[in-house]
Amino acid sequence: MGHEVETENRIVGRAVATPLPLGFLALLIVTVTFSAVELGWVPLTEGSTAALAALVLAVPLQVVACIFGFVRRDPVASTGMGVLAGTWAFVGISTLTSPPGASSPGLGVGLIVAGAALLVPVASAFKKPAAMTVMTLAAARFVATGIAEASASHVWLTISGWVGLVLGLTAICAAFVVEREGVARARRQS
């Protein structure tokens, strides 16, 4: 009798986990590996191993974290992880293509600018203290390494190594905290 049936289509999506712990753990591995070289705990020739850690491990994991940050519409995760991934790729390639222990003023300038670029997601992360802390320390690490590279200063290289270790410790703690929050949130939603 002329009844029209209206249908309604719905797309139901499942929440995507935060990508920050993945990016933070990748950062832990690469920053501590480079710190070991900078602090002389391993020979300078191991810089190539640190570069491979950046290129094979940190960069891909941080790119994944960046992409999922965009999927989640999380500008802090997407921008921060994207800048980290790009910077570690730059450091890795530069380290692999330079003689062991060589400094590079060009790399130094790039690292200082990358440190400044990380301040953009930091400025937006006031509701994400773990991300804000990790990215602030990463910015400080890049600036310290940049100064060491630009000036060929052993003192700045040592400072960079120690900042890298503090960053690594902070990154693993932040990954743990954010991961635990994510698990608790998922349990509440189940």
Question: pLDDT per residue over 60-117, tens digit each?
Answer: 999 999 999 999 898 899 999 999 999 999 999 999 999 999 999 999 999 999 999 9
- pLDDT tops 70 at residue 10: no
**What is the residue type of 165?**
L
- pLDDT tops 70 at residue 14: no
**Contact assessment for residue 15 and residue 59, using Cβ atoms and an 8 Å cutoff:** no
**Average pLDDT, integer, range 15-40:** 93
Distance from first CA to last CA of the chain, Å, rounded?
A: 44
* Tokens found for residue 187: 């349990």
pLDDT band at 174 (very low <50, low <70, confident <90, very high): very high
Could you write out the DSSP letters of every residue in 26-74?
HHHHHHHHHHHHHTTSS-GGGHHHHHHIIIIIIHHHHHHHHHHHHHTT-
CB-based burial label for 70 (10 Å; 0-12, 13-18, 19+)? middle
Residue pointed to by tokens 């990358």: 114
For 20-182, the fitting CATH number among 1.25.40.600, 3.40.190.10, 3.40.640.10, 3.40.50.1700 is 1.25.40.600
**Average pLDDT, integer, range 17-38:** 95
The pLDDT > 90 percentage for the chain reads 78
Domain layout of the chain by residue ranges:
20-182
